[in-house]
Amino acid sequence: MSIDRRDFLKGALGSGALLASSATVEARENNPMPSEAVGLLFDSTLCVGCKACVAACKEVNGMPPEFSTQDQLWDTPIDLSGKTLNVIKFYKQGTGETRNSETDGFAFMKNSCMHCADPSCVSACPAKAMTKDPVTGVVSYNKDACIGCRYCVAACPFGVPRFEYDKAIPQISKCQLCRHRMKDGKYAACAEVCPTGATLFGKVKDLKVEAKRRLALKPGEETSFPRGNLTTRDQVPHTAPAATYVQHLYGDKEVGGTQVLKLSAVPFEKLGMPTLPERSYAATSETLQHTLYSGMALPIAFLGVLSFLAKRTTKDNDGDDHTAPDDKKQGGSDV
């Protein structure tokens, strides 16, 4: 049997017509953020690169040290991994002499889970190992439910979930906003230990108000910055001159909004933060899936292609001549 490209395309186009005629599915909107969602505000202009947040995160989450130097004397993670849930990265341009300057300057950026309002990792996980708390909004991971498919790793637009490739029984590692401490009235350790308030914990709605206050500040204006937990005001504020902020609150709109918000004086793309659409990838992919499978349209279309090929094969086989030649009917005679 031979099926040429024209015959295959005829069957595919016929099935495509079936898909086009199927019922239209309404596009899914971004899932909203819980009204009492908690999160972090990271202000790059206040970060001094001390990495106290990295050390505290490892301590309260029982994460092992990670060495990037041969002597292995210091815990020196350079990126998120199966051993590191939170990391501070360094930006330097030119001479690197001016703090919080894009040109000839330097700045810091905190990388950890963004706790999206409409997380791709939750949408992609087939085993419900990734879940979003309906009250706090924290995106959590259940190692007992995980099947190791790593779909969450591929789905996350921020490249956050990491797989433990070096373990016999691996699992996914990601920040869970110290949710295990919340039952005791505590909060994210990274915010608790930050000396300047660069990392601030609180309800997302309160963090947004604080972020907008900072964006409206006059550069150089002496300002009081809350530390620790914004909601409870549990620590003495930090005083410093306001920086010249990029007039954008990162995470406010990106992929439907995130519970980790960021401010900076250096363009976010320079600090490694991706430029993303306002529509979440979860909403886009689920709309596509629901459209294709509405009324079993995609399976029926696939069966249509198979049926066309089978019919074509049967027709070709019926037209073949398999009759053996009869020498006696060819006009010859024995000698």
- pLDDT for residue 22: 47
Residue 104: predicted pLDDT = 97
Predicted confidence at residue 77, as pLDDT, reads: 94
- The string of pLDDT tens digits covering residues 76-90 is 999 999 999 999 999
Q: Which CATH class is domain 38-272?
A: alpha beta
Q: Where are the domains of the chain?
A: 1-30+279-314, 38-272
Q: Which residues pair with 313 in a beta bridge?
A: none
User: 3-class DSSP state for residue 290?
Assistant: helix
Distance between the two ends of the chain, CA-based, in angstroms? 42
State the number of CA atoms in the 13 A half-sphere of 46 facing the CB: 27
The secondary structure of residue 172, as a DSSP letter, is: E
Nearest residue to 261 (alpha-carbon basis) of 198, 216, 219, 217: 198
Query: What's the rounded Cα separation, in Å, for the pair 16 and 297?
Result: 10
The rounded distance, in Å, linking the Cα atoms of 255 and 120 is 9
Q: Could you tell me where the DSSP H helices lie in 25-158?
A: 52-61, 120-124, 151-155
Q: What is the pLDDT of residues 275-300, one digit of tens each?
A: 999 999 999 988 877 666 555 555 66
Residues in the chain: 335
- What are the tokens at 94? 């030119």
From residue 95, alpha-carbon distances to 28, 86, 101, 191 in Å are 48, 27, 11, 31
Structure tokens at 253: 């709109």
- The pLDDT value given to residue 288: 78
pLDDT the model gives residue 129: 98
User: Rounded CA gap, 273 and 211, in Å?
Assistant: 18
In which residue ranges of the chain is pLDDT below 70?
A: 1-25, 290-305, 308-309, 312-313, 315-335
CA–CA gap between residue 54 and residue 187 (Å, rounded): 15
**pLDDT of res. 71:** 81
What pTM, to 2 d.p., does this model score? 0.81
Question: What's residue 272's pLDDT?
Answer: 97
Answer whether 153's CB lies under 8 Å from 161's CB: yes
Residue 334: per-residue pLDDT: 47
Residue 244 Ramachandran class (φ > 0 left, ψ -120 to 50 alpha, else beta): beta
- Answer whether 44's CB lies under 8 Å from 181's CB: no
Segments in the chain forming alpha helices (H): 5-20, 52-61, 120-124, 151-155, 179-182, 189-193, 204-215, 281-293, 297-318
Please give the pLDDT value at position 323: 52
> Do residues 99 and 107 make contact, with C-beta atoms less than 8 angstroms apart?
yes
CB 91 within 8 A of CB 100: no
140: helix, strand or coil: strand
Q: pLDDT value at position 80?
A: 97
Structure tokens at 68: 């990037």
